[in-house]
Structure 1
Amino acid sequence: MKRQTMSIHYYGIRHHGPGSARHLLAALDALQPDRILLEGPPEADALLPLVADAAMQPPVALLAYRPDAPQRAVYYPFAAWSPEWQAMQYALAHHIPLTFCDLPLAHSLADDHDEDDDTPTAARHPFDDLADIAGYRDGEEWWEATVEQRGDGEDLFAAVTEAIAALRDALPAATSAGDLKREAWMRKTIRAATKESERLAVICGAWHIPALQSAVAVKDDNALLKGLAKTKVDSTWIPWTNSRLTRQSGYGAGIRAPNWYAHLWRHPDDDGVRWLGRAAQHLRAKHYDISAAHLIETLRLARTTAALRGQTRVALADYTDALASIIGMGDSAIIDRIQHAWLIGDTIGSVPENTPQLPLIADIDKQRKQLRLPQTAESREIILDLRKPLDLARSQYIHRLNLLDGGLWATPLARSGKGTYKEAWRLEYQPEQHIRLTEKAVYGNTLESAVTAYITSTLHQDQSLAALAERLEHVLPAELPNLVAALAAAIAALSVDNRDLADTLAALPHLAETLRYGNVRQTDNAALAHLLDTLLARLAAGGVQGCMNIDNDSAQTLCRLTRSAGAALAALNDADADRYWHDYIHAQTTSQHIHPLLAGNAWRDHYDRQQTDAETVAAELHRQLSRGGNYADAAQWLEGFLYQSGTVLLVHDTLWQIINDWLRALPEDRFTELLPLLRRTFTAFEAGERRQLGDKARMQAGQAGGSRAAVVATDSAIDETAAQAAMQTVARLLGLEA
């Protein structure tokens, strides 16, 4: 029998275009092709049958990556209204062979740089030139009006190809070197396919169609493709989300409003009533009073605007502009309040259970399902009660997963305080998690083994006690005893020769919190308690040496770290730890050559812990402020004593009066010189403390100049001069006047 004449039909589409998808299906129905070539990575051909599985629900994405370098990866997202997705569905439903025809990722991912690096940097998209000619604001609006919203698809693809051919001729630099190689490969694939088909349909991005139709010699394509590097590439399907569709990915620019495109796909005949009705629903949820009259006027304005622009159908911009004008009274912020719910949405796709997965990812997903933890695109908060076995297992799973994926899925929320039985988390699915976990798959086939091996392999990166202690704090809730032991051993080994006081102090809060949190989980923390005692014993024995003869910046750092460590140890409520800490602090109050900032802080620590009385503190404060002529040291001692807390001045009038007398006695030039340091001290107080200090100054200034010891009134009359001087001094200290 005589073979029929072979024909090739090209369909240029926009990725993620519902109008393109509808026109494409109509064209395929008319053509009845016996084979389809679709732009996409050939490595994913084996995954195409999964598209027919009922469990495969878009949005989904093809994920392709190099097993030896998983960070070298690319996503190919598909929504239900993506032309490529509809082409795959059509081919499977009609039993038509469909294969991907793009340049294999084995070549494009073989280089150490992205192909996008070869893309010319342009201020404008090439379609913007067509938009200028046709009178649209940008290329996206031009495509939307001329292709996506066009009801009649007759000769549409030919018209698009003609327009883009002219555009490519006028802008040859707009096509990257990577695209030229891709087009050469696609032409090679088309030539091979024509030998086995009579009606071949080629579907790809509209920009490539003119190049695919051009008469390029085989030898020229072969020359362009000669010597391409090659690597191994694996691929799989993963769930995708509407939020991720809004970002740039392997298939072009992000879609600003996925819900809008989904609406156009499901309800092509909607005249705007249904779409604006959804907006009204979301606005009412935000407590807006929306009536039917509002919607009628909004719809009329949107239709009128579209007509004035010469559009056959109302565009999304017309609806949003009308909504802002009618309901928002000209304020576009009303759109921002419902943008996510109305325009984007929290839709998340799903893939079949038999989708190829690495053992590690399969184990993680299996545990997630067993623990009944949601995988949603919507940000959800959960509160775990660690006294319940299920919640404790969930917490363990989340902490382990965070150690691998860096917290992409679960973010800790503030709790009422560590040491409680509650944990709060925000869960939100992020597709990038697959890449993070793929990178860690070499460390083990289960979550527990992978975490242990991965963290152990990175311990050498932490060369400080603080870094190791912080790592230990994150590891302990994951319930990995071997890993905890390895970290404790690393901290103990590093602490033997550690002479960095700041590093030791920075490590103490992490260790203290680890011990507190470990008690909540009823874990054996004897080794950690011994480690903390060892560090504190060394600190008590010789830590004071690091406080001597240091500069002001070092003193500021040590003061901050000392306060933080002291607060954490106080919350631990351990008698041995308190004794060691007292010895370390006490040495700073008695040793010579201690930086005055740290000495003042040490005296305040003793006072706050009720280890010295107010009279002794007052005597020391008076002694420090009375040292002849050394005003700077006195000011720094005062800063250390009042470090970020002025409560002591509110409750102890003697201390207030001593400081007031000293400030009033300062020569004007000295006061001006010390003012920046003094202001730093006083402005670090909380707003409530500053307000109360101001009230106290006003009250005492009204009592015969009571806040100025130099002025003594013998009667009840108010000394206005003294009062004004006191108020000016306090205002300057609190930064209330320039």
Structure 2
Amino acid sequence: MTAATTAPAPDIPVPGRSAVRAGGGGRRGRPLLLGVRHHGPGSARAVRAALEAEKPAVVLVEGPAEADALVALAGDESMRPPVALLAHAVDDPGRAAFWPMAEFSPEWVAIRWALDRGAAVRFVDLPAAHTLAAADPTWSDGEGGYDGGDAHGGRGAEGSRGGAGGHDGAGGRDGDGGRNDGGPCDGSGGRNGDGGQGEGEGRGGGAGGRAVDGLTLRIDPLAELARAAGHEDAEQWWEDVVELRGEEDPTAPFEALAEAMGALREAYGHGGHPRDLVREAYMRLQLRAARKEFGDEVAVVCGAWHVPALTWKTTVAADRALLKGLPKVKTELTWVPWTHRRLARRSGYGAGIEAPGWYGHLFTAPDRPVERWMAKVAGLLRAEDHHVSTAHVIEAVRLAETLAALRGRPLPGLDETTDAVRAVLCEGSDVPLDLVRDRLVVGDVLGEVPAGAPAVPLQRDLSRLQRSLRLKPEAQRRELDLDLRKETDGARSRLLHRLRLLGVDWGTPAPGRAGTGTFRETWRLGWEPELHVQVAEAGVWGTTVEAAATARAESRAVTTTSLADITALAEQCLLAGLADALPVVMRALADRAALDTDVTHLAQALPALARSLRYGDVRGTDTAALAEVAAGLAERICVGLPPACTGLDADAATAMRERIDEVHQALGLLPDTARPADRWTGVLRLLAGRDRVPGVLRGRATRLLLDEGRIAEDEAAPLMSRALSPGAPPQDAAAWIEGFAGGASGGGLLLVHDERLLGLVDTWLTSVPAAAFTDVLPLLRRTFSGYEPGVRRTLGELVARGPKAEGAGSAAPGGVPGFATGLDRDRADGVLPLLHLILGTEPTA
């Protein structure tokens, strides 16, 4: 925000039926300026009608100027919107920007009309070379009003790494208060970045925005127009006056909207967006060039916010002065698929709309849009096993129309249809309604681009692999189960692992089906438009997926210092089938393992090696070198672990317990030649019997020995008895129980089946002094609350039943200490009044 002189409230002519002039669509003033709302189906229909009526020789479209070379691809039969122009810096592919277009975007409609009619198409916005360079905050020309923060959208907008972004269109962006509603123009609501006042000649240097208490605020033109019309809900107002209405005169709506935008620009200047002055200067220069070449047969399709600026009487020299000295980077552009979900404002897209699926339906429905929408909703709900009949659909349509009439709307809008769907089709429940909003109101539509569209070599190789492996990118998330014994599934797994190594997270591993063995993998797949930028970034490592992943792995092996990280890298290389990278990774692994003396680091590194050895057999990879390193790590862990476990505090002991569990599990995965089984048993025995080892580690070591059959049950009881003896500190004894019978380790079942151990715990618990009991209670609650409900119930029944009779099962003569020998009827009768109250029964005499 910047200081500004308070501007008077403008007298805004409201675009609507009252503001539209009557009359035929004859020749109007030239050039034909068509101010639109980005991604507005009403604007798109009006643009198509106006172009058809006026038939210009050239159509100028708001978009990066370098995209002229790509415009012909928009007419390709295999091009399916939503799509986006992607620009990225050649030397820094992560610095990128998108310009999305949907089927109902006015720009897309204008491009397709021109291609179908043989008219020329030019993009006239500031070149992406300047837009991407402006992502660097050091390139900011405050004097000329150029702000290097935000390029075409909110939150660094539809850009990567905070760089430039997609369309600067309709609506409240970062920093703008209220509902962030979209607008009938571009560049409206609070974008990132503030800047100096523009100094261009003419009216370009007007007030910086709405002034409140001496501070300049970014304005939202849609909200301004709605307020001038007496409406607080800007989105609903726009839907009423544009999306749900048609006009006989195709150019009249644009004249009314241009007049309204002119009043706003007269009052607020750049509206808090000084960078727009530079963009508009470039647009005026392009417009002059087009008129010089084509005469007055020129049409301009741009955000309505810019229309007044295109008519300002500025000189060529003044416009060029605004552009002088702009930073510039070398860029490449292409078309990429986009999704309806990323067109939604909730995705963070500054020019986004609330309901891309609904707007797409309004644009494509030939007639009776409400009836057709309810039929779509019914089809979705039926597919999800909801009972929806034809009568439901009829009643929903009637309710939507009634609501529209009561609310004074020309036709049912999204609010009315949503209320009708909730009340009738969803029977008042928001659960199926959320499904409708996700699948239809927003939608999972993913566009397609021609195979011949420019792309980095890595993207072309990825597309080839996707086709050969029948892994089609889809916006909707889905699970993919792979059987690694099959050649195709194995290749799919290697591709997904290679992409993850490159930072392209198309798929993420998911928990597989239980009991299916190591030859199964489950992935969650979901293609997002940003992945194209990640592929472009990864292109610096190679021209194919395999070569790039190999180079990336080798580079990480050289630079990684953590032993655990490099063992994880070795595991990734095996999973990805990168045989050429393994020698470099293994040399680095051996070097790190030889130098690292921290037992904790060694323990963290071993599990990844053990998994690699186990899964390598399934994938047919050579793991001999890996086995040697794993065997060496295991030996060093066995030597260094006992000293490392002494003198630890509670937090360090808990962390070390996790390391011991991981090592124990990893050793079970190692082949017999690399597994020091006897050595590890000796380590656990040493930990279980050493008093200086924290109780949680002694208890855990005892439990692991018992589970592996390394000690008999008769040996476990004396160890527990010693740990829970009266001379042991209560907190240390409670920690021993946590290590031995912790909930996650199945300790509850052990106590269920061995009542001697349960009796020892009970005896110790009843002997804990009252002063110490409150200290050990939280640890005990954590231990026993981790048991399954059935285990806790069984333990309660055992305690209530008391000890087994003498000679029965494992009960010692005289019963188990700590358990009563009979039922205490007086205590049992104490609960009867409460039971009668709960059950509503009367006590018997």
TM-score, normalising length from structure 2? 0.80
Paired residue for 2:241? 146
When residues 527 and 580 of structure 1 are mapped into structure 2, their CA distance, relative to the original with a 3 A threshold, is farther
- SS of 1:121's equivalent in the other structure is coil
When residues 381 and 662 of structure 1 are mapped into structure 2, their CA distance, relative to the original with a 3 A threshold, is closer
2:396 is equivalent to residue 298 of structure 1: yes
1:376-525 aligned within 5 A: 376-409=474-507, 411-416=509-514, 419-460=517-558, 462-525=560-623
Q: CA deviation at 1:421?
A: 1.9
Higher deviation after alignment, 334-343 or 535-544: 334-343
Paired residue for 1:728? none
Among candidates 292, 304, 308, match of residue 195 of structure 1:
292
Among candidates 222, 247, 251, match of residue 320 of structure 2:
222
Q: CA deviation at 1:371?
A: 1.5
1:593-612 aligned within 5 A: 593-612=692-711
Q: CA deviation at 1:148?
A: 2.3
Name the amino acid aligned to 1:452: T
**Cα offsets for 1:427-465 (capped at 9, x unmatched):** 222211111111111111111110011122223553322
- SS of 1:70's equivalent in the other structure is coil
Q: CA deviation at 1:702?
A: 11
When residues 76 and 710 of structure 1 are mapped into structure 2, their CA distance, relative to the original with a 3 A threshold, is closer
Paired residue for 1:95? 118
Q: CA deviation at 1:270?
A: 1.7
Matched residues in 2 for 1:723 and 1:466: separation? 60
Among candidates 149, 161, 168, match of residue 258 of structure 2:
161
Name the amino acid aligned to 1:159: A
When residues 428 and 201 of structure 1 are mapped into structure 2, their CA distance, relative to the original with a 3 A threshold, is same
Q: CA deviation at 1:271?
A: 4.9
Name the amino acid aligned to 1:115: D
When residues 642 and 10 of structure 1 are mapped into structure 2, their CA distance, relative to the original with a 3 A threshold, is same
1:253-272 aligned within 5 A: 253-272=351-370
1:44-123 aligned within 5 A: 44-111=67-134, 112-113=136-137, 114-115=149-150, 121-123=175-177
When residues 721 and 409 of structure 1 are mapped into structure 2, their CA distance, relative to the original with a 3 A threshold, is closer
When residues 567 and 720 of structure 1 are mapped into structure 2, their CA distance, relative to the original with a 3 A threshold, is farther
Answer yes or no: is the 8 Å Cα contact 1:24–1:83 preserved in 2. Answer: yes
Matched residues in 1 for 2:828 and 2:583: separation? 65
Paired residue for 2:377? 279
What are the ranges of 5 or more consecutive residues in structure 2 without an aligned counterpart?
Answer: 1-26, 138-148, 157-172, 179-219, 831-845
Higher deviation after alignment, 170-179 or 616-625: 170-179
Paired residue for 1:657? 759
Between the two proteins, what is the percent identity of the paired residues?
A: 40
Answer yes or no: is the 8 Å Cα contact 2:504–2:535 preserved in 1. Answer: no
Name the amino acid aligned to 1:40: G
Greater than 4 Å deviation, 4+ residue runs? 116-120, 247-252, 701-708, 710-713, 719-724
Paired residue for 1:126? 221
Q: CA deviation at 1:540?
A: 1.5
Matched residues in 2 for 1:501 and 1:627: separation? 34
When residues 685 and 292 of structure 1 are mapped into structure 2, their CA distance, relative to the original with a 3 A threshold, is closer
Name the amino acid aligned to 2:306: H
Matched residues in 1 for 2:461 and 2:819: separation? 79
2:32 is equivalent to residue 9 of structure 1: yes
Q: CA deviation at 1:405?
A: 3.4
2:276 is equivalent to residue 174 of structure 1: no
Matched residues in 1 for 2:597 and 2:423: separation? 67
Name the amino acid aligned to 2:566: L
Q: CA deviation at 1:110?
A: 0.7
Matched residues in 2 for 1:337 and 1:99: separation? 41
- SS of 1:122's equivalent in the other structure is coil
Among candidates 685, 698, 705, match of residue 586 of structure 1:
685
When residues 558 and 711 of structure 1 are mapped into structure 2, their CA distance, relative to the original with a 3 A threshold, is closer
Higher deviation after alignment, 383-392 or 227-236: 383-392
Answer yes or no: is the 8 Å Cα contact 1:539–1:584 preserved in 2. Answer: no
Answer yes or no: is the 8 Å Cα contact 1:120–1:173 preserved in 2. Answer: no
Name the amino acid aligned to 1:131: A
Paired residue for 1:685? 787
Matched residues in 2 for 1:601 and 1:28: separation? 78
Matched residues in 1 for 2:681 and 2:777: separation? 33
Answer yes or no: is the 8 Å Cα contact 1:419–1:517 preserved in 2. Answer: no
Answer yes or no: is the 8 Å Cα contact 1:102–1:186 preserved in 2. Answer: yes
- SS of 2:523's equivalent in the other structure is strand
Q: CA deviation at 1:543?
A: 2.0
When residues 509 and 707 of structure 1 are mapped into structure 2, their CA distance, relative to the original with a 3 A threshold, is farther
**Cα offsets for 1:342-400 (capped at 9, x unmatched):** 32333222211211111111111111111222222233333222222222222222221
Matched residues in 2 for 1:481 and 1:723: separation? 74
Higher deviation after alignment, 433-442 or 191-200: 191-200
Paired residue for 1:567? 665
Q: CA deviation at 1:544?
A: 1.1
Q: CA deviation at 1:470?
A: 2.2
When residues 693 and 285 of structure 1 are mapped into structure 2, their CA distance, relative to the original with a 3 A threshold, is same
Answer yes or no: is the 8 Å Cα contact 1:440–1:450 preserved in 2. Answer: yes
2:780 is equivalent to residue 672 of structure 1: no
Paired residue for 1:543? 641
Higher deviation after alignment, 226-235 or 408-417: 408-417
Answer yes or no: is the 8 Å Cα contact 2:124–2:286 preserved in 1. Answer: yes
Matched residues in 2 for 1:263 and 1:710: separation? 73
**Cα offsets for 1:581-632 (capped at 9, x unmatched):** 2233233134452222212211111111110111111112112222525333
- SS of 1:40's equivalent in the other structure is strand
Q: CA deviation at 1:285?
A: 2.1
Name the amino acid aligned to 1:191: R
Number of aligned residue pairs: give it: 720
2:695 is equivalent to residue 619 of structure 1: no
The structure where helix makes up a greater share of residues is 1
Q: CA deviation at 1:248?
A: 7.0
Among candidates 340, 364, 370, match of residue 462 of structure 2:
364
Answer yes or no: is the 8 Å Cα contact 1:444–1:453 preserved in 2. Answer: yes
Matched residues in 1 for 2:783 and 2:280: separation? 68
Matched residues in 1 for 2:110 and 2:616: separation? 55
Q: CA deviation at 1:18?
A: 1.8
Q: CA deviation at 1:70?
A: 1.4
TM-score, normalising length from structure 1? 0.91
- SS of 1:227's equivalent in the other structure is coil
Higher deviation after alignment, 241-250 or 339-348: 241-250
Paired residue for 2:742? 643
